[in-house]
Amino acid sequence: MSKIGVFDSGLGGLVITTALIKALPQYDYLYLGDTAHLPYGDKTSGRILKYTLDSISYLIKQDCKLIIIACNTATSICLRYIQQKFIPSNAPDVKVLGVIIPTVEVALSSGEKKVGVIATQATINSHIYQTELQKINPNIDVIEQATPRLVPLIEQNNFKEMEDIIKQYLSQLRGVESLILGCTHYPLIKEYCRRQMPSVRVISQDELIGKKLKDYLNRHPEIEHCLTQRQSRKFCVTRKNIKSEQIATQLFANIQIEEIAF
């Protein structure tokens, strides 16, 4: 079976997978969360690249013909290298896509002049959102805020502390007209953000990625024809975690998560 693979540093990417399955339920999906090495946001670029290449290689071996890197950190650090170097040399029939460009396209669609971004430290350090936003609109004002405490709390299913911490982070983004949630985990806290910034357009990747992938497949029938349509779903992690699996069960009823080793 030629599957759609979805890769994330943890189980936050299941939110993206849920959105993809809702939009495109006919295809076969394989999810891989590299929970043994999360969070990626505090790792060096070299480590992030190694972990991402290991995960992409695994998905390729499992016959994934289209791979979505749901992790913003991995996208910002690794996607260009994977698309330009790794895939042409190792799996030229596979397509690998990220989540940042589709998010930027949506962020620019309403004409706001001041955009905030919250993301992991590594994503913020890369300035990928600022670069891509200003590449299209050089006059846009981009304010970036690293939010390193959020992913660990989400993966631990600890939402009790979340609202106060989000409030502290968002207080640094006064005056923004829209807010990009630049991490795959952050759709799980989008309502917290909307409560804190009720007049700001909050851009959450789970709300855009399904439509974007559908559009992509419509424009690339040669890829769509390679994907089998048996509605199979498989979920894998590199290390099991009871607390994060509690989140997974909220997204997929009766989910079975398999621990794998490369």
**Model's pTM, two decimal places?**
0.93
Count of other CB atoms within 10 angstroms of residue 62 = 15
Q: Are 70 and 8 in contact (CB under 8 A)?
A: yes
Fold of 101-205: Rossmann fold (3.40.50)
Whether a cis peptide bond, with omega within 30° of 0, leads into 187 is no
Annotated active-site residue in 71, 78, 193, 236:
71
Show pLDDT as tens, one digit a residue, over the chain (262 residues). 799 999 999 888 999 999 999 999 999 999 999 999 989 999 999 999 999 999 999 999 999 999 999 999 999 999 999 999 999 999 999 999 999 999 999 999 999 999 999 999 999 999 999 999 999 999 999 999 999 999 888 888 888 889 899 999 999 999 999 999 999 889 999 999 999 999 999 999 999 999 999 999 999 999 999 999 999 999 999 998 886 677 788 778 788 999 998 7
Q: Is 236 labeled as catalytic in the residue annotation?
A: no
- Segment (H or E) for 14: helix 14-23
Assess whether 193 carries a catalytic annotation. no
Locate the domains of the chain by residue range: 3-98+208-259, 101-205
Q: Do domains 3-98+208-259 and 101-205 have the same CATH topology?
A: yes
Q: Which of 64, 78, 183, 193 is catalytic?
A: 183
**Domain 3-98+208-259, what fold?**
Rossmann fold (3.40.50)
